[in-house]
Amino acid sequence: MKNIILTFILGITVLSCDPKPSQECADLKSADSKVKSNVELYSKVWDTAINGRNIEIINLNNFDKDIKAITADGNIEGIDAFKSYYNNYLTGFSDAEFNIVDVFGQGDKVVKHWSFKGTHDGDFFGIPPTGKKIDLIGTTLVLMKDGKIIQEQDFFDNYSLLSQLGLIPTE
C-alpha cells in the first residue's frame, strides 16, 4: 500500500512539472549568448587591429559611428578620430604585441585585462622614437550596443609608460 501511494505521489509530481524552460532560463541563455558574442567580437577586433596591424577593422561594422574613447586628455569621438588615435600605437611601435590576459562581460559591458609590448621606433602621439622597449599592462572598460563597440576607457600606468620610454627619470 505504501508503494502504491509513493508511486502515485511521484507520478503526480512528475506530471505537474513544466517541461518547457522558464522565461527566466531563456533570458539567461540569451544574455549569456549576447555576452559571448560581445567578448568574441571585441577580442577579434583588437587582435586584428594591433597584432594584425590592420587599423581598418575600426569601421562601422564593428564600431558605432559615434564611438567614444574616454581619455585623461579629453574624449576622442567618431570613427575617424578613434582610428587615428589608436593608429599611434601602430606607428609608434612597429613590433607591437597586444595580448588579452582576460576578458569578461555582463550585458553590454566588457572588461578587458591586457598587455602591450613593443619597441618605440616611430612617432607616438608626437613623441619621436626613443628606441626603448615598453611592457605595459592595463584594463579597458567597454560599452557595446547592438553588437558594436560604442565606448572604451583604458586604464594603465602612464608614469610607467613615460619611464620606460626614458622621458622621465626613474627612481
Written as tens digits, the pLDDT of the chain (171 aa) is: 655 654 555 555 555 555 556 766 555 555 678 889 999 999 999 999 999 999 999 999 999 999 999 999 999 999 999 999 999 999 999 999 999 999 989 999 999 999 999 999 999 999 999 999 999 999 999 999 999 999 999 999 999 999 999 999 876
User: What is the H or E stretch that residue 169 is in?
Assistant: none
In a domain, 98, yes or no: yes
Tell me how far apart the alpha carbons of residues 78 and 68 are, in angstroms, rounded to a whole number: 6
CATH number of the domain within which 128 lies: 3.10.450.50
How many structural domains does the chain have?
1
Phi-psi region of 107 (alpha: psi -120 to 50; beta: other; left: phi over 0): left
In a domain, 62, yes or no: yes
3-state secondary structure 66-114: EEEEECCCCCEECHHHHHHHHHHHHHHECCCEEEEEEEEEECCEEEEEE
How much is the pLDDT for 33? 85
- pTM > 0.85: no
In a domain, 7, yes or no: no
Which residue segment(s) compose the domain that 94 sits in? 23-164
Q: Side chain identity at 83, as an amino acid letter?
A: K
How much is the pLDDT for 81? 98
In a domain, 17, yes or no: no
